[in-house]
A and B are shown apart, each in its own frame.
Chain A
Amino acid sequence: MTQTTQVPRPRTDSEGAAPETRRRPASPQWAAWAFLAPVTLYLLLFYAYPLYRNIDLSLRHYTVRSFVRGDAPFTGLDNYRKIFDDPTFAPALLHTVVFTAVCLVFQYAIGLALAVFFHQNFRLSATLRALFLVPWLLPLIVSASTWSWMLNSDSGIVNAVLHAVGIAPVNWLTSPSWSLTSVIIANIWIGVPFNLVVLHSGLQSIPTSLYEAAALDGANAWQRFWRITFPLLRPVSAITLLLGLVYTLKVFDIIWIMTKGGPADSSTTFATWSYQLGFGNLLPAFGPGAAVGNLLVLAALVFGLVYVRAQRKQALS
């Protein structure tokens, strides 16, 4: 079991250590678990219990008073029924799917193109690649508020540029037909660095001799990409996309700060809808909010399991 965990390999060489430890008798289990006890307790208290509370929340009928006193009546799947019948359900589902899919495709495509580009040798390559990390490191509230102002209808730079090339101004954040596009653009910007860095490290493990051989056979750059780079990068691509999927499904900050899911639910996803229900109104609806959140957990866990399987397959190969 321990051999197949997904833990990434360290940069130092561990090849020599593994067989040797196997020869020695195992250390007492209690010592090992003494070291693991704090984190195990922590996982139970601060992951398992909040998750349990969340499921409990979604199965009861809460009012503000019963929330404080903790005597809310058990109502089974009522909250789930309520959210399925809610007029927000269909748009939230659609927006979650569109947001996730469009962000993933663009982040991956741009990230891969940049990774291939930066994989070549030229001056400043490493420095500039490092600068690409900036959007990923910035607090989301910083990125979100900067994009909000750039996309401002009257004073934003984006509309000023559009005006300069003769395009009518767009109400990026205040028009229902553009708000989802706006948050997608901002989120792609944030996600590109991650894709770039991970795919770039994947490229480095492709042996250069393959490219030399292909060049000798007269393959052009385009053919080399599709015949060598892309196929050999597949495992790394799969993991990048799956991780991206899990991360994008739960994106909340960007959307909430830029549009609050509006106007009129036009950019609401499951994550913002859940927050809206639980914390966004004067009268909180914790039960339905938790129910929406649990649907999100379910989706994340399904793709998470796929991710773990993909990781293991890669680890074994």
Chain B
Amino acid sequence: MRTRLKTALALLFTAVMLFPVYWMLNVSLTRDQDMRKSPPDLFPAHATLEGYRAVIDQQLPYLGTSLVIGLGTVALTVALAAPAGFALAKLRPRGGGILSFVLLAAQMIPGIIMAMGFYAIYLQLGLLQSVPGLIVADSTLAVPFAVLIFTAFMSGIPGELLQAAQVDGARALRTFWSVVLPMSRNSVVTVSLFAFLWSWSDFIFASTLVNGGAHEPITLGIYHYIGNNNQQWNAIMATAVVASLPAAVILVLAQRYVAAGVTAGAVKD
């Protein structure tokens, strides 16, 4: 009986916590004429897909750009961070501790600072409003975290498997490629998920580096939407729902990796 009461309470807490998400769905299905109704309908009684039609008509290019940028960020992040994690975990480089410290400190730099620095540099290099430029900028959100995750996972690989790695550099490369990397599949998944999600969600780099360009990500799509047509909140919320899909997919398919990532970033347990 007591545990049933606890389950009920937990359901209540979860419902309260997720209410904004429900509300986003509800508004996305609301008809234009009901949008300003007071009080608003608690359920989409006259559900319409008008909002989603607007997404398909207007937001697909933004979604495509975000997908490309997300995948590019994942590739760049894994390519940079996996070898670094291997070296820090298994090859005992002199000065490795300092590098780990720098990586940790790098995560603390506010996004606005990075954005302003990147803006100044990209302006000179002519990289503003370019997709590769945004991929590089977005990868800075994930690389330090990714190195820390890889280091943690790879130092758990038993040393006997890596004896060859200790002999010379060429073998180290082969060991990394054919032993360490396949064994670290879980950490590659974790890192990829977070890198994709962070770059998909990025707003500050997008709004400073590619604003007004030919290829803008979905976060800017929503931002322009809010700015331009204050009235069509069903379309805005429908876009928000679509933009939330990667988060939903990640939660359903890879929840254990997410929880592992959150805690690994913060706590030694």
Contact among B118, B197, B260 for A137, CB-based, below 8 A: B197
Residues in B with CB closer than 8 Å to A289 are 116
Classify chain B: how many residues form its interface, as a range. Answer: 35 or more
- B134 interface residue per 8 A CB criterion: no
- B182 interface residue per 8 A CB criterion: no
Cα–Cα distance between A197 and B262 once the two chains are bound (Å): 7
Cα–Cα distance between A196 and B112 once the two chains are bound (Å): 27
Cα–Cα distance between A135 and B3 once the two chains are bound (Å): 26
> Are A137 and B99 interface neighbours, CB within 8 A?
no
Query: Which of B44-52, B53-61, B152-160 lies at the interface?
Result: B152-160
> Are B109 and A201 interface neighbours, CB within 8 A?
no
Cα–Cα distance between A30 and B154 once the two chains are bound (Å): 20
Known contacts A31-B168, A125-B10, A239-B267; A304/B104 CB under 8 A:
yes
Known contacts A35-B86, A124-B11; A47/B155 CB under 8 A:
no
Known contacts A8-B265, A38-B84; A131/B14 CB under 8 A:
yes
- A205 interface residue per 8 A CB criterion: yes
Seen from chain B, the residues whose Cβ lies within 8 Å of a Cβ on chain A are 3-4, 6-7, 9-11, 13-14, 17-18, 20-21, 23-24, 27, 35-40, 79-81, 83-84, 86-88, 90-106, 108-121, 123-124, 136-137, 139-140, 143, 147-148, 151-160, 163, 165-169, 172, 176, 197, 200-201, 203-204, 207-208, 218-219, 222-223, 226, 233, 236-237, 240, 243-244, 247-248, 250-251, 255, 258-260, 262-269
Q: List 15 A-B contacts (CB under 8 A).
A: A2-B97, A8-B152, A8-B266, A9-B269, A53-B116, A67-B123, A131-B14, A141-B223, A141-B243, A198-B266, A201-B259, A271-B112, A296-B113, A301-B108, A311-B268
Given A50-B116, A300-B109, list of 7 further CB < 8 A pairs?
Answer: A5-B100, A31-B172, A32-B94, A39-B80, A49-B121, A51-B117, A133-B251
